[in-house]
Protein backbone atom coordinates (compact mmCIF):
# COMPACT_ATOMS: atom_id res chain seq x y z
CA UNK A 1 0.00 0.00 0.00
CA UNK A 2 1.35 3.45 -0.93
CA UNK A 3 2.58 5.70 1.84
CA UNK A 4 2.29 9.46 1.75
CA UNK A 5 3.65 11.02 4.93
CA UNK A 6 7.33 10.89 4.22
CA UNK A 7 7.53 14.71 4.15
CA UNK A 8 6.17 17.40 6.41
CA UNK A 9 4.20 18.77 3.48
CA UNK A 10 1.62 16.02 3.82
CA UNK A 11 -1.51 16.73 5.82
CA UNK A 12 -4.74 15.37 7.22
CA UNK A 13 -8.43 16.20 7.12
CA UNK A 14 -10.13 16.53 10.50
CA UNK A 15 -13.70 15.31 10.14
CA UNK A 16 -14.86 16.38 13.58
CA UNK A 17 -18.26 16.60 15.17
CA UNK A 18 -19.28 19.70 13.20
CA UNK A 19 -18.98 17.90 9.87
CA UNK A 20 -21.06 14.95 11.02
CA UNK A 21 -23.76 16.91 12.85
CA UNK A 22 -27.33 17.27 11.62
CA UNK A 23 -27.33 20.92 12.79
CA UNK A 24 -23.75 22.12 12.24
CA UNK A 25 -24.61 25.82 12.45
CA UNK A 26 -26.33 25.48 15.80
CA UNK A 27 -23.55 23.26 17.14
CA UNK A 28 -20.89 25.73 15.96
CA UNK A 29 -22.73 28.56 17.74
CA UNK A 30 -22.93 26.46 20.92
CA UNK A 31 -19.23 25.64 20.77
CA UNK A 32 -18.42 29.32 20.20
CA UNK A 33 -20.44 30.29 23.30
CA UNK A 34 -18.69 27.59 25.34
CA UNK A 35 -15.30 28.84 24.19
CA UNK A 36 -16.13 32.45 25.06
CA UNK A 37 -17.40 31.28 28.45
CA UNK A 38 -14.18 29.32 29.01
CA UNK A 39 -12.04 32.32 28.03
CA UNK A 40 -14.01 34.72 30.21
CA UNK A 41 -14.42 32.57 33.31
CA UNK A 42 -10.90 31.13 33.36
CA UNK A 43 -9.35 34.49 32.47
CA UNK A 44 -11.31 36.19 35.24
CA UNK A 45 -10.33 33.53 37.77
CA UNK A 46 -6.67 33.88 36.76
CA UNK A 47 -6.92 37.65 37.17
CA UNK A 48 -8.67 37.53 40.54
CA UNK A 49 -6.25 35.01 42.09
CA UNK A 50 -3.26 36.94 40.74
CA UNK A 51 -4.48 40.37 41.86
CA UNK A 52 -5.91 39.50 45.29
CA UNK A 53 -3.23 38.86 47.92
CA UNK A 54 -5.71 37.05 50.19
CA UNK A 55 -5.84 34.23 47.67
CA UNK A 56 -2.06 33.73 47.49
CA UNK A 57 -2.23 30.42 49.34
CA UNK A 58 -1.50 26.97 47.83
CA UNK A 59 -5.16 26.01 47.37
CA UNK A 60 -5.92 28.99 45.13
CA UNK A 61 -2.52 29.08 43.44
CA UNK A 62 -3.12 25.46 42.37
CA UNK A 63 -6.59 26.49 41.21
CA UNK A 64 -4.95 29.22 39.14
CA UNK A 65 -2.84 26.54 37.49
CA UNK A 66 -5.99 24.54 36.71
CA UNK A 67 -7.58 27.60 35.08
CA UNK A 68 -4.45 28.16 32.99
CA UNK A 69 -4.49 24.53 31.86
CA UNK A 70 -8.18 24.66 30.98
CA UNK A 71 -7.61 27.87 29.02
CA UNK A 72 -4.75 26.32 27.07
CA UNK A 73 -6.53 22.99 26.55
CA UNK A 74 -9.64 24.46 24.97
CA UNK A 75 -7.56 26.95 22.93
CA UNK A 76 -5.56 24.11 21.37
CA UNK A 77 -8.73 22.64 19.84
CA UNK A 78 -11.72 24.99 19.74
CA UNK A 79 -10.56 28.00 17.64
CA UNK A 80 -9.36 25.75 14.80
CA UNK A 81 -12.60 23.75 14.84
CA UNK A 82 -14.68 26.95 14.61
CA UNK A 83 -12.52 28.58 11.93
CA UNK A 84 -12.40 25.39 9.84
CA UNK A 85 -16.20 25.18 9.91
CA UNK A 86 -16.70 28.85 8.99
CA UNK A 87 -14.17 28.66 6.14
CA UNK A 88 -15.23 25.15 5.05
CA UNK A 89 -11.60 24.17 5.42
CA UNK A 90 -10.81 21.19 7.64
CA UNK A 91 -7.23 20.37 6.71
CA UNK A 92 -4.28 20.31 9.09
CA UNK A 93 -0.63 19.91 8.14
CA UNK A 94 1.49 17.00 9.29
CA UNK A 95 3.48 19.34 11.55
CA UNK A 96 0.31 21.06 12.77
CA UNK A 97 -1.21 17.70 13.65
CA UNK A 98 1.90 16.71 15.61
CA UNK A 99 1.93 20.06 17.43
CA UNK A 100 -1.75 19.84 18.34
CA UNK A 101 -1.27 16.28 19.62
CA UNK A 102 1.74 17.30 21.71
CA UNK A 103 0.00 20.30 23.25
CA UNK A 104 -3.22 18.41 24.00
CA UNK A 105 -1.32 15.52 25.60
CA UNK A 106 0.86 17.90 27.62
CA UNK A 107 -1.97 20.01 29.01
CA UNK A 108 -4.28 17.01 29.55
CA UNK A 109 -1.57 15.00 31.32
CA UNK A 110 -0.55 17.98 33.45
CA UNK A 111 -4.17 18.54 34.53
CA UNK A 112 -4.45 14.86 35.43
CA UNK A 113 -1.51 15.13 37.85
CA UNK A 114 -2.53 18.57 39.12
CA UNK A 115 -5.92 17.29 40.26
CA UNK A 116 -4.14 14.73 42.45
CA UNK A 117 -1.98 17.45 43.99
CA UNK A 118 -5.08 19.55 44.62
CA UNK A 119 -6.64 16.61 46.46
CA UNK A 120 -3.50 16.29 48.60
CA UNK A 121 -3.68 20.01 49.39
CA UNK A 122 -7.29 19.63 50.61
CA UNK A 123 -6.31 16.55 52.62
CA UNK A 124 -3.55 18.44 54.42
CA UNK A 125 -5.74 21.52 54.99
CA UNK A 126 -8.62 19.55 56.50
CA UNK A 127 -6.91 16.60 58.19
CA UNK A 128 -3.69 18.34 59.34
CA UNK A 129 -4.56 22.06 59.58
CA UNK A 130 -1.91 22.83 62.24
CA UNK A 131 0.86 21.47 59.98
CA UNK A 132 -0.50 22.97 56.76
CA UNK A 133 2.12 25.72 56.37
CA UNK A 134 4.90 23.18 56.96
CA UNK A 135 3.57 20.44 54.67
CA UNK A 136 2.59 22.98 51.98
CA UNK A 137 5.64 25.26 52.27
CA UNK A 138 6.73 27.19 49.15
CA UNK A 139 9.27 24.58 48.06
CA UNK A 140 6.61 21.85 48.10
CA UNK A 141 4.13 24.10 46.28
CA UNK A 142 6.59 24.94 43.51
CA UNK A 143 7.39 21.26 43.13
CA UNK A 144 3.65 20.60 42.75
CA UNK A 145 3.52 23.32 40.10
CA UNK A 146 6.47 22.07 38.06
CA UNK A 147 6.06 18.28 38.27
CA UNK A 148 2.84 18.00 36.21
CA UNK A 149 4.25 20.11 33.38
CA UNK A 150 7.60 18.27 33.24
CA UNK A 151 6.20 14.73 33.38
CA UNK A 152 3.32 15.47 31.03
CA UNK A 153 5.51 17.18 28.43
CA UNK A 154 8.02 14.29 28.43
CA UNK A 155 5.19 11.76 28.07
CA UNK A 156 3.58 13.84 25.31
CA UNK A 157 6.86 14.23 23.42
CA UNK A 158 7.52 10.46 23.43
CA UNK A 159 4.00 9.59 22.29
CA UNK A 160 3.87 12.30 19.63
CA UNK A 161 7.21 11.30 18.07
CA UNK A 162 6.34 7.61 18.09
CA UNK A 163 2.82 8.09 16.74
CA UNK A 164 3.93 10.37 13.92
CA UNK A 165 6.72 8.02 12.84
CA UNK A 166 4.16 5.52 11.47
CA UNK A 167 3.60 5.49 7.71
CA UNK A 168 -0.01 6.43 7.03
CA UNK A 169 -2.16 5.20 4.17
CA UNK A 170 -3.63 7.30 1.36
CA UNK A 171 -6.74 8.07 3.36
CA UNK A 172 -5.97 11.37 5.07
CA UNK A 173 -9.32 11.63 6.87
CA UNK A 174 -9.21 11.63 10.68
CA UNK A 175 -12.75 11.04 11.88
CA UNK A 176 -12.16 13.04 15.03
CA UNK A 177 -12.26 16.56 16.45
CA UNK A 178 -8.51 16.84 16.90
CA UNK A 179 -5.28 14.99 16.18
CA UNK A 180 -5.40 12.40 18.93
CA UNK A 181 -3.54 9.10 19.05
CA UNK A 182 -6.36 6.47 18.87
CA UNK A 183 -8.07 7.80 15.70
CA UNK A 184 -4.73 8.56 14.05
CA UNK A 185 -3.48 5.00 14.57
CA UNK A 186 -6.44 3.77 12.51
CA UNK A 187 -4.76 5.34 9.47
CA UNK A 188 -1.42 3.60 10.05
CA UNK A 189 -0.34 1.13 7.38
CA UNK A 190 1.82 -0.84 9.80
CA UNK A 191 0.58 -3.02 12.63
CA UNK A 192 0.22 -0.73 15.65
CA UNK A 193 -1.14 -3.33 18.08
CA UNK A 194 2.02 -3.34 20.23
CA UNK A 195 2.00 0.42 20.43
CA UNK A 196 -1.71 0.40 21.31
CA UNK A 197 -0.86 -1.93 24.20
CA UNK A 198 1.90 0.44 25.29
CA UNK A 199 -0.54 3.34 24.99
CA UNK A 200 -2.99 1.47 27.19
CA UNK A 201 -0.30 0.79 29.82
CA UNK A 202 0.80 4.44 29.76
CA UNK A 203 -2.81 5.61 30.04
CA UNK A 204 -3.43 3.36 33.04
CA UNK A 205 -0.13 4.48 34.61
CA UNK A 206 -0.95 8.17 34.14
CA UNK A 207 -4.62 7.96 35.17
CA UNK A 208 -5.06 5.27 37.81
CA UNK A 209 -2.40 6.21 40.45
CA UNK A 210 -3.54 9.88 40.60
CA UNK A 211 -7.16 8.74 40.73
CA UNK A 212 -6.38 6.32 43.58
CA UNK A 213 -4.55 9.14 45.41
CA UNK A 214 -7.58 11.40 44.95
CA UNK A 215 -10.03 8.78 46.21
CA UNK A 216 -7.80 7.98 49.19
CA UNK A 217 -7.44 11.67 50.04
CA UNK A 218 -11.17 12.27 49.96
CA UNK A 219 -11.93 9.12 51.93
CA UNK A 220 -9.68 10.40 54.72
CA UNK A 221 -11.20 13.88 54.38
CA UNK A 222 -14.71 12.49 54.68
CA UNK A 223 -13.80 10.56 57.82
CA UNK A 224 -12.31 13.71 59.31
CA UNK A 225 -15.25 15.91 58.33
CA UNK A 226 -17.77 13.55 59.91
CA UNK A 227 -16.01 14.03 63.26
CA UNK A 228 -15.91 17.84 63.07
CA UNK A 229 -17.80 19.47 65.96
CA UNK A 230 -18.62 22.62 63.97
CA UNK A 231 -21.46 22.45 61.46
CA UNK A 232 -20.09 25.51 59.67
CA UNK A 233 -16.64 23.95 59.31
CA UNK A 234 -18.16 20.69 58.14
CA UNK A 235 -20.27 22.45 55.51
CA UNK A 236 -17.35 24.54 54.23
CA UNK A 237 -15.16 21.44 53.86
CA UNK A 238 -17.90 19.51 52.07
CA UNK A 239 -18.58 22.38 49.64
CA UNK A 240 -14.90 22.69 48.73
CA UNK A 241 -14.44 18.96 48.30
CA UNK A 242 -17.66 18.41 46.35
CA UNK A 243 -16.56 21.04 43.83
CA UNK A 244 -13.23 19.30 43.34
CA UNK A 245 -14.82 15.86 43.06
CA UNK A 246 -17.23 17.14 40.39
CA UNK A 247 -14.28 18.33 38.29
CA UNK A 248 -12.39 15.08 38.93
CA UNK A 249 -15.39 13.01 37.82
CA UNK A 250 -15.78 14.92 34.56
CA UNK A 251 -12.10 14.86 33.66
CA UNK A 252 -11.23 11.28 34.60
CA UNK A 253 -14.43 9.88 33.13
CA UNK A 254 -13.64 11.33 29.71
CA UNK A 255 -9.91 10.52 29.84
CA UNK A 256 -10.58 6.93 30.89
CA UNK A 257 -12.99 6.44 28.00
CA UNK A 258 -10.47 7.68 25.43
CA UNK A 259 -7.20 6.18 26.70
CA UNK A 260 -8.07 3.18 28.90
CA UNK A 261 -11.07 1.47 27.32
CA UNK A 262 -10.14 -0.95 24.48
CA UNK A 263 -10.42 0.49 20.97
CA UNK A 264 -13.06 -2.15 20.13
CA UNK A 265 -15.46 -0.32 22.47
CA UNK A 266 -14.96 3.01 20.70
CA UNK A 267 -16.97 4.52 17.87
CA UNK A 268 -16.12 7.77 16.03
CA UNK A 269 -19.36 9.41 17.16
CA UNK A 270 -18.77 8.55 20.83
CA UNK A 271 -15.14 9.67 20.67
CA UNK A 272 -16.14 13.01 19.16
CA UNK A 273 -18.78 13.63 21.84
CA UNK A 274 -16.33 12.75 24.62
CA UNK A 275 -13.68 14.99 23.04
CA UNK A 276 -16.09 17.93 22.93
CA UNK A 277 -16.92 17.27 26.58
CA UNK A 278 -13.36 17.37 27.94
CA UNK A 279 -11.89 19.97 25.55
CA UNK A 280 -14.79 22.44 25.48
CA UNK A 281 -17.48 21.77 28.08
CA UNK A 282 -15.27 20.95 31.08
CA UNK A 283 -12.94 23.99 30.69
CA UNK A 284 -16.01 26.25 30.56
CA UNK A 285 -17.63 24.68 33.64
CA UNK A 286 -14.58 24.21 35.91
CA UNK A 287 -14.18 27.86 37.00
CA UNK A 288 -17.93 28.16 37.59
CA UNK A 289 -17.96 25.01 39.71
CA UNK A 290 -15.05 26.27 41.80
CA UNK A 291 -16.01 29.93 42.14
CA UNK A 292 -19.80 30.22 42.41
CA UNK A 293 -19.95 28.24 45.66
CA UNK A 294 -16.71 29.65 47.06
CA UNK A 295 -17.16 32.69 49.30
CA UNK A 296 -13.44 33.55 49.26
CA UNK A 297 -13.29 33.68 45.45
CA UNK A 298 -16.52 35.68 45.15
CA UNK A 299 -15.29 38.08 47.86
CA UNK A 300 -11.99 38.51 46.04
CA UNK A 301 -13.84 39.15 42.78
CA UNK A 302 -15.85 41.94 44.43
CA UNK A 303 -12.69 43.48 45.89
CA UNK A 304 -10.89 43.43 42.54
CA UNK A 305 -13.87 44.90 40.70
CA UNK A 306 -14.32 47.64 43.33
CA UNK A 307 -10.63 48.50 43.23
CA UNK A 308 -10.37 48.85 39.46
CA UNK A 309 -13.85 50.15 38.65
CA UNK A 310 -13.83 53.01 41.16
Domains in the chain: ranges and CATH: 12-309 (1.20.1070.10)
Tell which residue, 208, 110, 209, 200, has the closest CA to residue 155.
Answer: 110
pLDDT at 6: 41
pTM reported for the whole predicted model:
0.88
pLDDT at 20: 65
All residue ranges of the chain with pLDDT < 50 are 1-8
Backbone φ, ψ for residue 16 (5° rounding) = -80, -165
pLDDT at 149: 96
pLDDT at 7: 43
Strand residues in 110-218 grouped as ranges (E): 173-174
Tell which residue, 59, 43, 3, has the closest CA to residue 241.
Answer: 59
Tell which residue, 180, 194, 186, 183, has the closest CA to residue 168.
Answer: 186
Write out the H or E segment, with its range, that includes residue 263: none
Give CA–CA dist 169/178, Å, rounded.
18
Amino acid sequence: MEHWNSTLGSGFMLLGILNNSGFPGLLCATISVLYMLALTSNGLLLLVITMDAWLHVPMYLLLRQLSLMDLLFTSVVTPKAIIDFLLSENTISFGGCALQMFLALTVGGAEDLLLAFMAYDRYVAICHPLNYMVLMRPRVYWLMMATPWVLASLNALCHTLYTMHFPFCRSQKINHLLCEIPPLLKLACEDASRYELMLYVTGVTFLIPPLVAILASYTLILLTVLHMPSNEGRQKALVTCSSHLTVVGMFYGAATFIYVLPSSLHSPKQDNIISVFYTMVTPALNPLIYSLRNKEVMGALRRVLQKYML
